[in-house]
Amino acid sequence: MDKKDKFVIEGLSGEKTLEGEIDVKGSKNAALPLMASAVLFDNPIILENVPEIEDVVCMSELLKSLGISTDFEKDEMKIDATAINDSNMDRDVSRKIRASIFLVGPILARLGKVSFPHPGGCVIGNRPIDLFLEGFEKMGAEIKEEEERYFIEAPNKKLKGAEIFFRVQSVSATATFMMTAVLAEGKTILKNIAMEPEVLALGEFLKSRGAKISGLGTSTLEIEGGELLSGNGEKIRVIPDRLEAGCFLVLGALAAKNLKIKNCNPDHLEILVELLKKSGVEIEVGHDFLSVTNSNPSKVFSGFDIKTHEYPGFPTDLQAPITVFLTQTEGESHVFETIFESRLNYTEDLVKMGADIVMWDPHRVMVKGPTPLRGKDLEGPDIRAGLAFLIAAVIASKSSIINNVYYIDRGYEKIEERLQKIGVNIERVSE
């Protein structure tokens, strides 16, 4: 996966011709914290259904730099942190992905100290780590910042249980402190936690391996700290990627004759399914699949308003794909991005493709439709907008080139191969 790769896509000019079946891979946002949780174990853990994507590769590199072995074959990963011997997180690898933050708490809880650079990731606005620093201080840690690096140490190498209220429902903070509390002394209470399926999956895994966690599925968790956990040699399956499934659902609504999205969990996408159905999209909901049928290809769907919100609200990570959908719907729609202040910048490129979008402020846009889109040369700014551009290119007239494919590769496994199988004219070109 070369950073200079690009996708060349021949658009369908609004025709709804795609058909067949497409598989959903394991969730990136579930796999990364599960990988970090290996630090809490005194023997190997084995993960199944791990997506073969750049972020997983980066996390593996980071684990290896700490003395943790990883063995990744097909979609199965074995991680052994028995010999972890370093508490200093590699600067270059850590800054590639925001998910490096997941490792900070487990390392601190296990080794009594940790140092790390400010985490990296996509450029989608300010993503401060004050929630993490404040939480570690409440658990008794001392923090120093020197030369763009944080140094955190626990007195006597042991964190203390604490009561932590999150001002915002942060997935990464919830997952981090759930893991951290597993090895802290005494009880930790986490309030106003994120309740995304990926957080629940992490908690259920830790609990199944001996962690004393109560309150899963609610906004408050209680964790009684203890000793290292045991992997038991049993495999844990990474849940399906609801965001990938959501993107395929939007693509199917816009460009498919008949598309079946397999190996997903429709319960994780209830708000998207409801909105699309209300708009007029024909969707069949199964136990582990979603099907989209356009029996009347000339039908124009109705627009609607969305406001991103923590789960089970509308996911910020599906905001860009749904905005592409709204460019093809009847009437005036409004998109209110409540979580990241720079996440609507990609709409400038949709306007260049012919979309009628007006930005009111960094958090709000108005979309009028339907407007036909024209193929353009595009630069994917982040993981989610990159895939939204891909959807836009598929429905546009003529051809489009999407540069910065590295961002799409960070979140979606071999996306072009899967799309080719359902009829998308897409080719990866390496320079």
Tens of pLDDT, residues 381-423: 788 889 999 999 999 999 999 998 988 998 999 999 999 999 9
Minimal CA–CA distance to 106: which of 170, 177, 211? Answer: 177
| 3-state SS record for 6-36 | EEEEECCCCCCCEEEEEECCECHHHHHHHHH
Strand 364-369 relative to strand 331-336: parallel, antiparallel, unpaired?
antiparallel
| pLDDT tops 90 at residue 234 | no
Does a cis peptide bond (omega within 30 degrees of 0) precede residue 370? yes
Whether 337 has a pLDDT exceeding 50, the answer reads yes
The pLDDT of residue 404: 85
**What residues contact 220, with CB distance under 8 A and at least 6 apart?**
189, 190, 191, 192, 193
Average pLDDT along the chain: 94
**What 3-state class would DSSP assign to 329?**
coil
Q: Where are the domains of the chain?
A: 6-25+240-429, 28-237
Sign of the Cα pseudo-torsion (224, 225, 230, 236, in order): positive
In the structure, what pLDDT confidence band is assigned to residue 431 with cuts at 50, 70 and 90?
Answer: confident
Cα torsion 29, 35, 36, 38 to 10°: value is: 150
pLDDT at position 68:
96
Least confident of 89-93, 151-155, 247-251: 89-93
CATH superfamily, domain at 28-237: Enolpyruvate transferase domain (3.65.10.10)
Quote the CA–CA distance of 209 and 227 in Å, as a whole number.
Answer: 11
What's at 260, amino acid-wise? K
Phi, psi of 180 (to 5 degrees): -60, -45
Residue 390: CB atoms within 10 Å: 27
315 cis-preceded (ω within 30 degrees of 0): no
Query: In the prediction, which pLDDT does 134 show?
Result: 94
Same fold: 6-25+240-429 with 28-237: yes
Kindly indicate the confidence band of residue 147, based on its pLDDT and cuts at 50, 70 and 90. confident
Global pTM exceeds 0.85? yes
Of residues 281, 259, 263, the one with CA closest to residue 272: 281
Is residue 22 within 8 A of residue 260, CB to CB? The reply is yes
Best CA proximity match to 240, nearest among 41, 20, 48:
48
Residue 197 has pLDDT above 90, yes or no: yes
Q: Tell me what pLDDT residue 122 has.
A: 43
Helices (H), 154-196: 171-182
pLDDT band at 120 (very low <50, low <70, confident <90, very high): low
Distance separating alpha carbons of residues 119 and 133, to the nearest angstrom: 13
Q: Considering the candidates 58, 122, 247, 264, report the single residue annotated as catalytic.
A: 122
Helix axis angle for 270-279 and 319-326, nearest 10°, is 0
pLDDT at residue number 121:
46
Residue 319 CA to chain centroid, in angstroms? Answer: 13
Give the phi and the psi of residue 231 in degrees, each rounded to 5.
-75, -20
CA 37, 39, 42, 48 torsion: positive or negative? positive
Q: How confident is the model at residue 89 (pLDDT cuts 50, 70, 90)?
A: very high
Tokens for 246? 């959501």
- Those residues with Cβ within 8 angstroms of residue 175's Cβ, 6 or more apart along the chain or in another chain: 33, 102, 194, 198, 199, 202
122 is catalytic: yes
pLDDT the model gives residue 127:
46
d(CA 189, CA 26): 30
pLDDT digits (tens, 9 = 90+) for 250-280: 999 999 999 999 999 999 999 999 999 999 9
Distance CA 300, CA 286 (A): 25
Give the model confidence (pLDDT) of 277-303 as tens digits. 999 999 999 999 999 999 999 999 999
What is the homologous superfamily of the domain 6-25+240-429 according to CATH?
Enolpyruvate transferase domain (3.65.10.10)
Among 259, 287, 288, which Cα is nearest to 276's?
259
Q: How many Å apart are CA 154 and CA 45, to the nearest integer?
A: 26
Length of the chain in residues, anyone?
Answer: 431
